[in-house]
Amino acid sequence: MKKRKEQKELSSVMTRRMVMLGIGQGVLGTLLVGRLYQLQIAQNESYRRLSDNNQFDQRLVQAPRGRILDRKGRLLAGNSEVFELRMLPSRIKNPKAWLQRVSRLITLKQEDIEEILEKIADQPSFLEVTVKSNLTQRELSRLAVLSPVLEGASFQKSYKRIYPQGWMTAHVTGYVSPVNKRDIEGQPDLRYLPETRIGRTGIERKMEPDLRGLFGFERVEVNAKGKPVRVLRDKQANPGADTYLSIDIEAQSFATERLRRGRWQAVPVHRAEVQEALMQDAELRAHVAMGDDLVLKDEKGRLVPPESGAVVVMDIQTGEVKVMVSTPGFDPNLFSNRLSIRDWQRMNTHPRTPLLNRAITGLYAPGSTFKMVVLAAALEAGVISPSTQYECSGAFEFGNRKFHCWNERGHGFINAEQSLERSCDIYYYQIALKTGINRIHDMARRLGLGDVSALGLVSEKQGIIPNRDWKLAQRGVVWTPGETVVAGIGQGFVLTTPLQLALMTARIANGASAITPSLVAQNDPQITSAFAPLDVPADIIRFLHKGMRKVMAGGLGTARKYDIAQGIAGKTGTVQVKRITKAQREKGIVDNIDRPWKERDHALFVAFAPYKNPRYAISVVVEHGGSGSSAAAPIARDILDFMLATDGVSA
């Protein structure tokens, strides 16, 4: 009986335990099922992405940069496909040793290795770093053989920016260079494209958003060692838009060479006399070191570099800039790769600053090319009439100073038209005083001087067209009448760019519209209707045309030797850079050619042609070139003659 009772109690205990165990198993099973549901269904997408990240490398795909073409579709900036070697630091234990190993297979300097290591230290390890771009076929084959054991290495097709016209259009197109920290701070996505180049100057910078295009996206399947197995492209890259400029590369090429040669004779670099001069002349040596083989011989028989300066040609109806030249130039292709320290130093230490775009950044006193502004302001104010005469004796006394005319013997009695023809300084000293600096300032602004243009290029300078308020705000003192006298011949505080001088001439030639310059080709035939009225009386415009024509065709015109069959209307200008001292005069150092280059006068010339049916306006500045009539006018004549002949415009 007792035994049966014990068995019954044991059975009851076992039953309770079995029930508890069953309940525990049920709860555990429920938890497992719930967890499986969570992993496989509820969080399926999240874990799929994590799995993909273990299996795939994700990267942005660079879009081909849009091309820059001239008005006829000729290439100014384009792309060349290249192969690059890249490394993924997160998959490399010792990047320095890895790079040293690679340097035995391809050309990789120690300075390149140090630069790559610095870049690795500055960015997350999961971002690729370009080791070398533009691999040669031999380098590519060497690396490809070892690629199975070269962990963390990948080969990518990329695009190298090329400028087939080189330095001839460098200041127009500008250049691109790799992104830097400041770029990435403003646009974080750029950090994922190690070889992205962005525009730094010129059209490359102005049109950057359009030229860059839209990045693509791809996933690269990799094995356990990080080697690519296949590429899955999720989004195609969209190439940047092409940009057609108003520049005519034929005219640009002709104008560049014509400006560089000036009025001197070219001498082959290989001649013994040139090689000897290079040993003695640091400036000439710096010029040739930039890869330019043009050396000139001046009238004294000295070997000198090509002329420095600027040429701008505008269409007077549309405002299109057909020619924009700045010399010396530089090779923008150097910036497409990793710019060497040596090349950078050559450009930055060059005595004639080739990186400076003189057409829009160079500031020059306009000299006598400003006389049209002063004359127009005087006529509009009514202080003179076309028949008003003044006597020029060679000097004008005002206060306790004597202001000289360029013609020391004087011009005698001359009227307004003759004042332009002969460029009499005395006439303009006097009418400037009668007109006043504020009226001169207002006329200059209407004609396009003293303000940044509509080109939108970041380096463009505003220039200075002074008035009373400007002097008080900038110098803290009042304007004086003597400063008006000097401003009357375009010197003193007055500063302009070659682009502004071309714009001034184009507005005078047009006569009705305040045209604005453009570097992008204008396809709208109604573009002229978009310009504001010039707001200069038509009779004054006609009078300026007659006076400028006399400069070229008058018996005593300062540029009478340089007319063409179609007829040019122009104005010369010679700007003193440094006054000749008494000691220099006593030594006989008076002529420009006898002074150091940087102390010589600037030569300027502005013009439009044809005279009867104006089409183009031009400005030429030859830095330290001497006389505007002998140095700048013949350059302008030849360029206008070339462009009109190319267009089929006859007399």
Q: Are residues 594 and 617 in the same domain?
A: yes
What burial letters (b/e) apply to 534-568, b meaning 16+ CB within 10 Å?
A: bebeeebbebbbbbbbbbbbbeebbbbebbbebbb
Amino acid at the residue 268: P
Which tens digit of pLDDT belongs to each residue from 573-592?
A: 999 988 766 566 566 666 77
**Residue 25: inside a domain:** no
Does 54 reside within a domain?
no
Assess if residue 249 is contained within a domain. Answer: no
Alpha helix ranges (H) inside 399-537 = 416-422, 425-435, 437-446, 468-475, 481-487, 498-510
Q: What pLDDT does 115 receive?
A: 83
> Quick one: pLDDT at residue 231?
60
In terms of pLDDT, which residue wins out, 535 or 61?
Answer: 535
Please say whether the dihedral angle defined by the alpha carbons of residues 544, 548, 553 and 555, taken in this order, is positive or negative.
Answer: positive
- Residue (of 571, 606, 575) closest to 592 by Cα position: 575
Q: What is the pLDDT of residue 91?
A: 79
Amino acid, res. 523: N
CA distances to 4, 14, 19, 453, 470 from 7, in Å: 5, 10, 18, 110, 117
Question: What per-residue confidence (pLDDT) applies to 45?
Answer: 58
Residues 296 and 362 in one domain: no
Q: Give the residue from 57, 39, 55 showing the smallest Cα distance to 47.
A: 39
Q: Is 145 part of a structural domain of the chain?
A: yes
Note whether 405 and 470 are same-domain residues: yes
For residues 85 and 191, membership in a common domain is answered with: yes
pLDDT in the model for residue 220: 63
> Highest mean pLDDT: which of 84-93, 204-213, 277-286, 432-441?
432-441
Please say which residue of 274, 289, 304 terminates a domain: 304
CATH number at residue 115: 3.90.1310.10
Q: Compute how many other C-beta atoms are within 10 angstroms of the C-beta atom of residue 6.
A: 10
Residues 299 and 313 in one domain: no
Q: Which amino acid is at 14?
A: M
Mean pLDDT, residues 611-627: 96
Least confident of 11-25, 196-210, 229-243, 392-406: 11-25
Q: Return the H-helix or E-strand segment holding 291.
A: none
- The pLDDT assigned to 84 comes to 83
SS3 424: coil
Give pLDDT, residue 50.
45
Q: What is the pLDDT of residues 357-373, one digit of tens each?
A: 999 999 999 999 999 99
pLDDT band at 142 (very low <50, low <70, confident <90, very high): confident
Please tell me the predicted confidence (pLDDT) of residue 402: 92
Say how far apart CA 609 and CA 563 lie, in whole Å. Answer: 10
If asked whether residues 328 and 235 sit together in one domain, one would say no
* pLDDT tens digits for range 27-85: 777 777 766 766 566 666 555 544 444 566 666 777 889 999 999 999 999 999 888 88
In the chain, the N- to C-terminal Cα span, in Å, equals 144
Total number of domains constituting the chain: 3
- Same domain as 511, residue 376: yes
- Contact between 197 and 227 under an 8 Å Cβ cutoff? The reply is no
Q: Tell me, yes or no, whether 359 and 289 share the same domain.
A: no
Strands 532-533 and 569-575: unpaired
Peptide bond connecting 481 to the previous residue in cis, omega within 30 degrees of 0: no
Q: Do 287 and 187 fall into the same domain?
A: no
What does the alpha-carbon distance between residue 192 and residue 482 come to, in Å, rounded to a whole number? 61
Residue range(s) defining the domain that contains residue 284: 263-304
Same domain, 217 and 320: no
CB 149 within 8 A of CB 311: no
pLDDT band of residue 18 (cuts 50, 70, 90) is confident
Question: Do 318 and 528 form a contact (C-beta atoms < 8 A)?
Answer: yes
- Tokens for 649? 């415009």
- Dihedral sign computed on CA atoms, order 34, 35, 38, 40: negative
The CATH number assigned to the domain holding 601 equals 3.40.710.10
Residue 188: pLDDT band (50, 70, 90) is low
Give the end of a domain, one of 277, 304, 331: 304
Distance in angstroms (rounded) separating the CA atoms of residues 375 and 327: 32
Mean pLDDT over all residues of the chain?
88
In degrees rounded to 5, what are phi and psi of residue 329? -110, -165
Residue 584 phi/psi, 5-degree rounding, is -65, -40
Chain centroid to Cα 522, Å, comes to: 20
**363 with 461: CB under 8 angstroms?**
yes
* Least confident range of 195-199, 415-419, 430-434, 479-483: 195-199
Indicate the residue among 304, 322, 353 that finishes a domain.
Answer: 304
Position 194 in a domain:
yes
Q: How far is CA 620 from CA 178, 259, 296, 297, 520, in A?
A: 35, 8, 19, 21, 22
Give the pLDDT band of residue 266 (cuts 50, 70, 90).
Answer: very high
Greatest mean pLDDT range, 14-18, 70-74, 126-130, 520-524: 70-74
CB atoms near residue 80 (< 10 Å)? 11
* Stated length of the chain: 651
Paired with 132 in beta bridges are 85
Is the predicted pLDDT of residue 221 greater than 70, yes or no? no
Average confidence (pLDDT) over 557-569: 97
pLDDT on residue 10: 64
Q: Does residue 620 surpass a pLDDT of 60?
A: yes
Residue 548, domain member (yes or no): yes
- Cis peptide before 188, with omega less than 30 degrees from 0? no
Q: Does residue 192 register a pLDDT over 70?
A: no
Q: Which of 42-51, 102-111, 567-576 has the lowest mean pLDDT?
A: 42-51
Same domain, 142 and 270: no
Lowest model confidence (mean pLDDT) among 105-109, 255-259, 442-446, 460-464:
105-109
Spatial separation of the C-alpha atoms in residues 420 and 544, rounded to whole Å: 9
Tokens 């013997």, located at residue: 409
Which amino acid is located at 538 in the chain? A
Alpha-carbon torsion (77, 78, 82, 86), positive or negative: positive
Instruction: Specify if 48 maps to a domain.
Output: no
Identify whether 3 is part of a domain: no
Mean pLDDT of 493-497: 98
Same domain? For 122 and 140 the reply is yes
